[in-house]
Amino acid sequence: MKKDLGVLQAVYPMPVLMIATYDEDGKVDVMNAAWGNISAPDKIALFIGEAHKTTKNIRKVKAFTVSIADAAHMDVADFFGIASGNNMEDKFERTGYTAVKSDKVNAPIIEEFPLVMECELAEIVETENLHAIVGKIVNVAADETVIDENGKVDPARLNALAFDNFQSGYYTLGDKAGQAWDAGKKLM
């Protein structure tokens, strides 16, 4: 029997996304966001509020990158979630991480994170119940250490972090449980 828990953010796993932007002066800002996902084959939607420095930067610069955080960089990924670029001038510099300018969009790529989507602003959707930044993915780049012999990203090598809304924990993803579009065929 199930026990009522009330209203919770009961989606698990949530991604640990590092959203990187430049401000109008070319200064790097990175935020940690769990509320985002692919919304079309070449689109990503980020559900982040208007008050974030990242949102302000995206409105001005019209571009951003989204990296997948991995276990090896959990401490800095978490820092990007607890420190605000609105209140901490040297937020990125404190990490000692490396940012290089994307050659596809006007946004920084954070070298330490193994997978990055380079995005142009497609639209910002604002309704009474939703604030979503939609990016058009113009390129995905991955560190060679996470690419398998077939040229595809290997989730086990990626060692991506997942955020747990229930207890505010980070978990790693990687063990394959089955094959999509095959596991349910016996029920067809």
pLDDT in tens, 165-178: 999 999 998 788 89
pLDDT one-digit tens code per residue, 66-110: 999 999 999 999 999 999 999 999 999 999 999 999 999 999 999
Neighbours of 171 (CB within 10 A): 13
**What structural domains does the chain harbor?**
14-187 (2.30.110.10)
pLDDT at residue 108, rounded to an integer:
98
Residue 187: per-residue pLDDT: 92
Average pLDDT over residues 44-70: 97
In which residue are the tokens 């800095």 written? 76
pLDDT of residue 162: 96
List helix spans (H) across the chain.
Answer: 53-61, 74-82, 91-95, 155-158
Task: Give the rounded percent of residues in the chain with a pLDDT score beyond 90.
Answer: 95
User: What pLDDT is stored for residue 175 in this prediction?
Assistant: 84
The DSSP secondary structure of 46-68, one letter per residue, reads: E---TTSHHHHHHHHH-EEEEEE
Euclidean distance between CA atoms 22 and 131, whole angstroms: 21
Backbone phi and psi for residue 71, each to the nearest 5 degrees, phi listed first: -60, -35
Establish whether the linkage from the previous residue to 13 is cis, with ω within 30° of 0: yes
pLDDT band of 28, cuts 50, 70, 90 = very high
